Chain A
Amino acid sequence: MEKVLTDFVKALRNSNVRVSPAETIDAVSVVDSVGYDDKVLLKRTLSIVLSKTPEEKDKFNACFDDFFSDEIKQQISVDTNQLSDIKDVDSDLAKKLLEGSQGEIMLSIADAAEEAEIREIRYFTQRSVFTRRILEKMGVGKLEDELMQLGSSREGELPSDLEQELRNQLTNLRERVSDYVQQQFLLHGDVSGEQLREQIFKSMNMAQIDRSYLNEVHSLVRKMAKKLANLHSRRKKNFKKGKLDIRKTIRDNWVNQGILFNLSWAYKKIDRPKIYVICDVSGSVGAYARFMLMFLFSLSEVVSKLRAFVFSSNLGEVTNDFKDAKLDEAIEKALQKHGGGSTDYGQALTDFVSLCLDEIDNKTTVVILGDARNNFGPEKAHLMKSIKERSKQVFWLNPEGKYRWDTGDSVMTKYSAYCTKVFQCGNIDQLERVISTLLKTAI
């Protein structure tokens, strides 16, 4: 019986529920005491032991229903003895369907599946192919021919009991084969498909990701942001004042004959960075800004003091829009309000300096996202200098490839002179790396 359970665990893993070996052992011991008899009870118990978040519980429920589904179907058995003309059918499959027990049919499905190399199934999309292949191996073609003949020979009369029964059995068979394939997919299919897609999204240029995938990218970004948040959220500094940690102080000073020489303090300070983001949302970089803002606001757990500004020519603050509304709406709103115009970095910097230069202190990190394409306007790099002087650090993220910097109307070098660091940031992978550096150094 343990085989069933380990198979089920495998299926769970394939549907993205993380199950550790230790949990599998728990599950085995639980099932020992609960038994397989009561399916509802089994589901409830396994759900407690194996799935550990609400999302996992949903996936668990779906997977459980899929995996243990065939028991219900097997109970549909038909009394075929009443059919008199049973001898009239010639195809093997028809005979098997009419005379064979449920077990035998199940067995022949398994045999045919073996022949069709069901173990090779990997992707979600292959299911229908395999279903068809198994049915063919079982000789469904012949049965269908026979049904056609029966249908044409009766010349418009009502279908005979035999024909009716065969048709029912065929539909039934189809369902069972497709269930079987679904189960096998859960067992053998792997999640690499999904991982592959994530990989592609990560390394794809952000501007080129199709709008229809936005939801998936959203969840991807959220996942990454969460990872970063976990990594950086609890960085601590020792306090130099506050409450004395007596225990530690006495222990540390035992070597000094109990004279309290080196003091330790109880409180540790959790440092949270203060970040100002200025995003260019003009036509050329709007798509990047979308991801950038998405990412930053998903990090709100870590970055408690975040202010975001967007501009094409005039600067506008969007912090509150993002705090209250849903992410998508906020992004749309910001882009609609400020996006699309022609870029004027000089004006944007002037606005920023007059708006909040006073608030920038030596704990502040300023992040600027843009391609530095200034339409040949005045770049006002001296403003960058004053920002740099007041702040802890200034990062510039440029979505364009390095080879394109300083070509045409781009004035990247003029600005980069006043930046602590300049990153190329064209895809999600790069963005993750940049933000990780940002969190590491901003604290």
Chain B
Amino acid sequence: MTDGPKKIIKDITKGFAKHGYICSEQIATAVFLASQLEKPILIEGPPGVGKTELANTAALYFKKEMIRLQCYEGLDESKALYEWRYGKQLLYTQILKEQMQEVLEGAKGLKESLDRLMKFEDIFFSEDFLETRPLLEALTSKKGSVLLIDEVDKSDEEFEALLLEILSEFQISIPELGVRKADVKPLVVLTSNNSREIGDALKRRCLHLYIPFPDAKLERQIVQARVPEISKSMQIQLVNFVQGIRELDLKKLPAISETIDWAKTVILLNSDELDAKLAEDTLNVLLKHQQDIEVVKKEIPALVSQATETSDGKSIN
């Protein structure tokens, strides 16, 4: 190892920032460890904090192909791993029948026919008829890849068991063909919204990263990176306002993606000062439940004054 881990982590932070992803040190460390240990990372956290985006950025940063597998209930191996091309296989048997005549021509007795048949090359189950799906594709990718298994909590438990072999050994057993091993181990990122508890076996095989809502400083950096045209004071006010909302007891708290959407909305509306009216008009960008909107509406004056007050102080770096 030529570079110290600290330097690599710093490089990752910088490299990710170049692609518009501002990551905390915790995230950068996780990415470093995943590439160092060649282990999958399981990312958990509330929706909209950039779990999927992390994988996208990692693919850009490591200059690898991005392969994505979206999980859902009922996802099975034929959609995730591989599938046989049945149509072609059936056609193949048709051809085979015709060929069989030639092969068996002039054979004397049952034994000789059988011997000839055995010598005949059989490609019914072979790579020719194999349709690769995301997981197999990621393993066979020659240049290496970033494999994103998105929302793994949405899949069934059986599917989780299917992942175990791939995640720990980076190989897939295809009964008809044998074991397919990865030449270049892909960087695997799994995300989960915790709609159900992920099995222990899977968790033990992964590094675990929890991405919480960002603190004000980090969120400002993210808004700055994603919506650079926003004015400095507006950006501070927006972030403070959102941070204030997160303190309230809501059904769904606004995440980073919502903050960014809101910042874009404000730009579109051409406003450069956050006031109660603007906040009230655009609240539906931030909040996705009518109940939440009603709760926050009552708090708007307090939140706005709080948000603008701290920004006037200019004490923020």
Interface residues of A (CB under 8 A from B): 18, 20, 22-23, 26, 29-30, 33-35, 38, 41, 44-45, 47-49, 51-54, 57, 226, 230, 233-234, 246-247, 250, 258, 266-268, 270, 301
Contact = CB atoms under 8 A, between A and B. Distances in A.
Nearest to B200: A18
B6 A22 contact: no
Given A230-B197, A234-B156, A20 B204 contact: yes
B37 A30 contact: yes
A246 B1 CA distance: 51
Contacts of B197: 226, 230
Contacts of B294: none
Given A234-B156, A250-B89, A258-B90, 14 more contacts: A29-B37, A30-B33, A41-B6, A41-B9, A44-B25, A48-B30, A48-B41, A48-B208, A52-B42, A52-B206, A230-B196, A247-B83, A250-B86, A301-B196
Give 4 nearest A-B pairs by CB, closest first.
Answer: A52-B208, A52-B203, A44-B29, A48-B207
A247 B210 contact: no
Contacts of B204: 20, 22-23, 52
Nearest to A246: B86
Interface in B172-208: 196-197, 200, 203-208
Contacts of A52: 42, 203-204, 206, 208
B26 interface: yes
Given A30-B33, A33-B36, A247 B209 contact: no
Contact of B74 (A30, A267, A301): A267
A41 B6 CA distance: 8
Contacts of B33: 30, 45, 48-49
Interface residues of B, number: 37
A30 B82 CA distance: 34
Contact of A49 (B44, B74, B207): B207
Nearest to B208: A52
Contacts of A51: 208
A57 B207 contact: no
A47 B205 CA distance: 15
B29 A33 contact: no
B51 interface: no
A55 to B, nearest CB: 10
A57 B26 contact: no
Contacts of A30: 33, 36-37
Contacts of A54: 44, 210
Contacts of B37: 26, 29-30
A57 B36 contact: no
A237 to B, nearest CB: 14
Give the residue among A33, A51, A301 with the most B Cβ atoms within 10 A: A33
A261 B139 CA distance: 36
A179 to B, nearest CB: 27
A363 B272 CA distance: 60
Contacts of A44: 25-26, 29
Contacts of A34: 5
A211 B102 CA distance: 87
B93 interface: yes
A8 B9 CA distance: 25
Contacts of B44: 53-54
20 contacts: A18-B200, A20-B204, A33-B1, A33-B36, A34-B5, A41-B9, A41-B29, A44-B25, A45-B33, A48-B29, A48-B207, A48-B208, A49-B207, A52-B208, A226-B197, A230-B197, A233-B196, A247-B78, A247-B83, A258-B93
A45 B157 contact: no
Contacts of A246: 86
Contacts of B196: 230, 233, 301
Contact of A247 (B84, B200, B203): B84
A30 B41 CA distance: 14
Interface string B83-122: 1101001100100000000000000000000000000000
B39 interface: yes
Contacts of A230: 196-197
A222 to B, nearest CB: 12
Contacts of A53: 44, 203, 208
A57 B210 contact: yes
B215 to A, nearest CB: 16
Interface string B1-24: 100011001000000000000000
B205 to A, nearest CB: 8
Contacts of B39: 26
